[in-house]
A and B are shown apart, each in its own frame.
Chain A
Amino acid sequence: MAKNSEVIKREEVVIRFSGDSGDGMQLTGTLFSDTAALYGNDLSTFPDYPAEIRAPQGTVGGVSGFQVHLGHSEINTPGDYADVLVAMNPAAIKANAMWVRPGGTIIFDKDNFTDKNIEKAGYLNDPVKEEKIENYNIIAAPISSMVKEALKDFGLDPKSVLRTKNMFALGMVYWLFDRKLKYTEQYFEKKFSKKPEMAEANKVALRAGYYYAETIEALNPVIKIEPAEIAQGTYRNISGNAATAWGFIAAAEKAGLKLFVGSYPITPATGILEELAARKDLGVKSFQAEDEIAGICTALGASFAGNLAVTSTSGPGLALKSEAIGLAVMAELPVVVVNVQRGGPSTGLPTKTEQADLMQALFGRNGECPVVVIAASTPSDCFRYAYEAAKIALEHMTPVLLLTDGYLANGSEPWKIPLVSELPGIRPPFADSKDVPFLPYKRDCETLVRSWAIPGTPGLEHRIGGLEKTLKGTVSYIPENHEMMVKFRADKVAKVAGSIPDLDVYGEDSGDLLVLGWGGTKGYLLTAVRELQSEGYKASLAHFNYINPLPVNMCDVFRKFKKIVVAELNMGQFADYLRMKCQEFRYEQINKVQGIPFTIKELKDKCIKILEEK
C-alpha cells in the first residue's frame, strides 16, 4: 500500500475514538493500540464509557470513548487533548469537541448527521458551526453508505453490515498514521474462525476505510510516529485489572500456595474476577459469591485453610466488606482486598475514576483496626503491587488493602514481561508441626507476626475468631490483655515499614516545589513535573505506593523542599493523612473530583501558581 502523501515524523499523537456505546469504540481503540504496540510505540490508553450498557441511542449520555496516546518517546498518560477525534454521531462531537486540540482532525460519519440525531445531541443546526470548529481538519465521511456499498455482495443483514462501520473508521485512522492492517486482520480471522464471512466483511470494511482516506488524502502530511526507544526485552500490552489478577497468580506460584478468589461482580473491578475465573489452567479457585460480604468471608475461610486468598471490589463493596476486614485483623489471617476506586459516595460514578476511598481504606472499620494499605500507580505496575500485597499479607499475617482505580483498571500500556525467577521470594510463617501445644497468637519477637497452622496438620488444632483473646486463643475480657493485643496488632502493621522501599524522588532531591501524589495519578504528575523541570522550574515529584505504613525516609525527603503540594483526585484525603502523620510541614493541595484524570495543563498551571505565591 504505497503512499503518495507527504509523511512527517512526530514525537507523539493522541487519538480519541467515540460513538454510541453500541458502536464498538472500545474494540476499535484496543485494536489500534495493539497495532501501535506491536509496531514498537510506547503508549497509554484510557477507555471512558457510560455506566449504561445501551443508553438511549444518539444521546450524549450514551457516548463511549477510547483514547490512546502513542509516541516515539516515553508516554505516561493517555494525553490531555486529542489530535484526531473519530466521532460516529453528533453526540460524540458534543461530548468530545472540547477535548480536541485546536486545529486537530475530526473524522465523522456524515450519514449519521441526520436532523434527528443532531437534535438528539442537543444541537440546533450544524454541529461543526455550533462548536466553532470549521477551521479544524473536518473529514465528513459517508461511512454508513460506504460500508453498505462495500459489503453489498456479502448477503449480510443490514444490521451486521452497519456493525462494520467502526472498522471503516479504524481503516481511515490506520492510513492517517501509516499503520499496517495485518494485526487487525489476524484478529478477525481468530475471532470469526467459525464465521469466515464475518471475518472477510470486517476486513473489507477496514480496507475500504484505509483506501478512502488515501483517496481523499484525509491528512496531509501523514503523521509517522517512529518506534520508541524502549529497554530490551519481551513486551505485551496489559490492562490494570489483568495485571492485578496476574500479580496474584504469580504470588501464589512463588509462595507454593493455591490461589482462591472470592468476589462479587462490581464495576470497575469485575475484570479481576473474570481474569482469575479464566485461569483454571493454573488451578485458580474462583468463587463468584452471592454478595460482597460472602466474597471476603469465603476468602477468609480459604485463608484459614491455607490458600492465598484475595477478594476484589470497588468502593461500595469495600464498605460492605468492612466488618470482615476487621475479622481478618482480629484473627490475623492473610488476605488481600483490592479496591478499584470509582467515583463515590454511594453508587456515585461507577465507570469513572477517583481516589476518594483512601480514608475508607485506612480507617473505615470499627475498633482499632490497622491494615496495610498500598496503591498501584500505572496499569502495568498493578502486577507488581498485587504481588507485593500478597507477599506482605502472607509474610506478616495481615489483611492488605490494594488500591487501584477505574483509570488504572481499564487503561493499558506496554509492559516488559518480568522473569518469574527474578520476583522476590514469598515465605509465609507456617507453624512447625513439632510446635505443640500450638499457641495461635504467640508472636515472632522481631516482626510480631504469629504463625500459620493449616487445618489438616495433626497436633496443631486451634481456634481463632473475632473475639478478643489471649495468646493461646482463649477468649478474654481482661482489660490489660485487650490493650496489649491492640498494641501488638498495631505494631505488627507498623513494622511492615521495615520491608518496604524508600520514597523515591523524580528529579533533584531538593528544590522549590515537591509535588506529592499517590496511586493512579503518577503518569500525569510525572509528565507535568518533567515539563516544569524542562521549563526551568525547580520542581520534583515523590509518588507514594505505600500508604500504611508510610516509607521511613518520607520526612527527610520533604525537608529538602521549600514548598510541598499534594495532588490527588479527591478533596484532600492524602494531604490530611500526611498532616496527621508528619505535622511539621505545610501541605498545599491540588484537587479534582470530576470522575476524570488530571490534565497536564491544569497540573502545571496550579504548580506554577503555588511556586509564584509568596
Chain B
Amino acid sequence: MAELKTYNYTPRDFKSDQEVRWCPGCGDHAVLNAVQKALTELGIPKEKFVFVSGIGCSSRFPYYMDTYGFHGIHGRASAIATGVKTANPELSVWQITGDGDALAIGGNHFIHVVRRNVDINIILFNNEIYGLTKGQYSPTSEKGLVTKTSPFGTVEEPFSVGELVIGAKGKFFARTLDSNVALSTQIYIEAAKHKGASVVEVLQNCVIFNDGIHDVVAGREVREDRTIVLKHGEPMIFGKNNDKGLVLDGLKLKVVSLGENGITEKNLIVHDAMEPNPGIQYMLANMRYPEYPMALGVIRSVPGHTYENDLVEQINHIQKDAKINSVTDLLASGSTWKVE
C-alpha cells in the first residue's frame, strides 16, 4: 500500500464559514468536532471528501464542513452517496444521518447500501427521537416512550441498529458516545479505513426533546461500569476498576467479576471484530443495561468486496476483449444493411 500522505491539516481546515445552528448543548457539536479531527489523520486531500446527508438535525452537517457536500432529501442519503461513490470511487464519501432518516423513511436504502457494501462511511446519530419536527417517537425509541405522537407511550418495538446492520449483511459496525470525542475520533478513522459500508452508531443526546435518554449508560458517573469499549484482539474487560469482564456461558454472554470464583483475564472472551461469522458480534451489539454493559468501539469489521470495486473490475474485464469500443462500433453492431 502507498504510504499515507500528510497534508498537515488541522480541524479548522474542515470548518466552513457557516454558523453552526444546532441547539446549545446538542450532542451534534461534539460529533462535528470529532469528524473534523478524524479527517486530518486520513492522508486524504480535502477535495476528495464528500459529505452527503438526508433530512433532520444531523443532516445539516455538510453545510458546516468545508468539503464537497450534498444535503439531500429525507431518507435518501444512502442512495445519493451510493451514486457519488459509484460514479467516482476515488472519493471519500460520508453519509450523515439520524435514526428517523436512516431507519424510518430511509430504511430501504439503508439496508441496501449495507448489503451492497458500497465503500461509504455512515455516521448514524441515534437520539431515539425526531428533533427537527420537534419531538415525535422514532424507530429506535424504546417501547412505551411518551412523545407528542405517542402521548400514552409507544406500542412499537424499536430497531437495534447493530442487529439491523448485521441482518443486512453489514461488514462494519461500531458504536460510540457523542461526548467521548477521543473514542469517536478513533472510530471514525477506523470506519474511513475500512473498505466497504461502515456504520457508526453515535448515541447522541437531544437536549430539547429527549434529554438524557442515553444517561443510563452514558452518564459521567456510571459510564465506565455500564459500557465496555471493545478492542480487537483484547479480552473484554470493563468497569471503573477494570474488574469486570464478559465470558461465554453456554450460548450466551455473561458478565463476570475478575477474581471471583477463580475467574481471571484468561477466562474472558477475546474480541474478534474480524470474524466473518457474526454470532458473538451480534450478541455484543445487542447487549443492553442492566443485564450487560452497552458495547462501544468497533464491534464488527470484516473485509469484503465492495460494490464499486467489483463494478469497475467487471467493466475492465469486459472492456479487455470487447469488440465494441465506441458508439460508432455500437451503431454498426448486429444486423445492418446498406441502401445504395
Are A and B co-members of a single complex?
A: yes
Give the interface of A toward B (CB within 8 A). Answer: 34, 37-38, 40, 183, 230-237, 246, 249-250, 253, 258, 260, 262, 279-283, 285, 287, 289-291, 293-294, 297-307, 309, 323-324, 326-327, 331, 417-420, 455-467, 474-475
Task: List the A side residues contacting B85 at CB < 8 Å.
Answer: 301
B298-340, CB < 8 A from A: 311, 314-315, 318-319, 322-328, 330-332, 334-340
| Closest A residue to B50 using CB positions | A455
Distance from B28 Cβ to chain A, minimum over Cβ atoms (Å):
16
Task: With CB as the reference atom, state the residue of chain B lying closest to A297.
Answer: B79
Interchain CA distance A307-B87 in the complex, whole Å? 6
Given A38-B335, A246-B330, A262-B83, A297 and B76 contact (CB-CB distance below 8 Å): yes
CB closest residue in chain B, given A247:
B327
16 new A-B contacts at CB < 8 Å, known A281-B324, A301-B80, A463-B63: A38-B335, A38-B337, A234-B336, A234-B337, A279-B330, A281-B318, A283-B319, A297-B109, A298-B79, A300-B83, A301-B79, A301-B87, A458-B46, A461-B69, A463-B16, A465-B69
| Contacts of B250-274 to chain A: CB distance below 8 A | none
Q: How far is the CB of A235 from chain B (nearest CB, A)?
A: 5
Whether the Cβ atoms of A458 and B47 lie closer than 8 Å is yes
A residues less than 8 Å from B47 (CB atoms): 455-461
The answer on a CB contact under 8 Å between A327 and B83 is no
- Smallest beta-carbon distance A484→chain B, Å: 20
Shortest Cβ gap from A499 to chain B (Å): 22
Check: B88 CB closer than 8 A to any chain A CB: yes
The interface residues of chain B lying within 8 Å CB-to-CB of A233 are: 338-339
Q: Across the interface, which residues of A come within 8 angstroms of B280, CB to CB?
A: none
Residues of chain A lying within 8 A (CB to CB) of residue B50: 304-305, 455
A28 to B72, CA, bound (A): 48
C-alpha gap A245/B70 in the complex (Å): 28
Known contacts A289-B79, A417-B336, A420-B328; A301 and B112 CB within 8 A of each other? no
For window 13-46 of B, CB contacts with A under 8 Å fall at: 16, 18, 45-46
Is the beta-carbon distance between A456 and B327 smaller than 8 angstroms? no
**In the complex the two chains form, is A298's CB within 8 Å of B339's CB?**
no
Q: Does B90 contact A (CB under 8 A)?
A: yes
Is A236 in contact with B334, judged by CB distance below 8 angstroms? yes
A151 to B323, CA, bound (A): 37
Closest approach, in angstroms, between the C-beta of B319 and any C-beta of chain A? 6
Is B52 interfacial (CB-CB < 8 Å)?
yes
> Within the assembled complex, what's the spacing in Å between the Cα atoms of A417 and B332?
8
Interface residue from A260, A462, A474 paired with B69 (Cβ < 8 Å):
A462
| A-chain residues with CB within 8 Å of residue B65 when the two chains form the complex | 463
A238, chain B: closest CB distance, angstroms = 9
CA distance A462 to B187 in the complex (A): 26
Q: Which chain B residues border A237 with CB–CB below 8 Å?
A: 335
Q: Residue B154 at the A interface, CB < 8 A?
A: no
Tell me how far the C-beta of A256 lies from the nearest C-beta in chain B, rounded to whole angstroms: 12
- Complex A-B: 25 CB contacts under 8 Å: A34-B335, A37-B337, A233-B339, A236-B331, A249-B330, A262-B79, A279-B324, A280-B315, A280-B318, A281-B323, A293-B79, A297-B72, A298-B83, A300-B80, A305-B91, A327-B73, A417-B332, A420-B331, A455-B50, A456-B88, A461-B47, A461-B66, A463-B63, A463-B65, A465-B62
Instruction: Count contacts on B: residues with CB < 8 A to the other chain.
Output: 58
Given A290-B108, A302-B87, A465:B328 Cβ within 8 A: no
B229, CB-defined interface residue at 8 Å = no
Indicate if B67 sits at the interface (CB-CB under 8 A): yes
Question: Are B331 and A418 within 8 A (Cβ)?
Answer: yes
**B86 surroundings in chain A (CB, below 8 A):** 260, 285, 287, 298, 301-302
Query: Which residues of A have CB within 8 Å of B323?
Result: 281
Given known A-B contacts A281-B318, A294-B79, A249 and B327 have beta carbons under 8 A apart: yes
* Bound CA–CA A383/B62 (angstroms): 38
A611 to chain B, nearest CB (A): 38
Separation of A246 and B333 alpha carbons in the complex (Å): 12
| A429 vs B80: C-alpha distance when bound (angstroms) | 22
Query: How far is the CB of B340 from the nearest CB of chain A, in Å?
Result: 6
Contact B70 A246 (CB under 8 A): no
Please, how many angstroms separate the alpha-carbon atoms of A300 and B85 in the complex? 12
Which chain B residue has the least Cβ–Cβ distance from A284? B315
- A258 and chain B: residue at smallest CB distance: B87
Q: How far is the CA of A419 from the CA of B65 in the complex (A)?
A: 46
Q: Does B84 contact A (CB under 8 A)?
A: yes
Residue in A closest to B66 when the chains form the complex, CB atoms: A461
**A305 and B84 in contact, given A234-B338, A282-B324, A456-B48 (Cβ under 8 angstroms):** yes
Q: Which residues of chain B are near A183, meaning CB under 8 Å?
A: 335
Minimum Cβ distance to chain B for residue A236 (Å)? 5
Contacts A301-B87, A417-B336, A458-B47 given: A466-B328 contact, CB under 8 Å?
Answer: no
Question: Which of B48, B331, B332 has the most chain A CB atoms inside 10 A of its CB?
Answer: B331
Which residue on chain B has the smallest CB distance to residue A235?
B337
Residues of A close to B325: CB separation below 8 A: 281-282
CA–CA, A305 and B82, complex, Å: 11
Q: Evaluate contact between A455 and B63: CB separation under 8 angstroms.
A: no
Within the complex, the shortest CB–CB distance from A249 to chain B, in Å, comes to 6
Q: From B55, which residue of chain A is reached at the shortest CB distance?
A: A466
| Smallest CB separation, A287 vs chain B (Å) | 6
Q: Which residues of A contact B175 (CB under 8 A)?
A: none
Nearest neighbor of A291 in chain B, beta-carbon distance: B108
Tell me the bound Cα distance from A599 to B340 in angstroms: 33
The verdict on A464 contacting B91 (CB below 8 Å), with A281-B324, A305-B50, A420-B327 known, is no
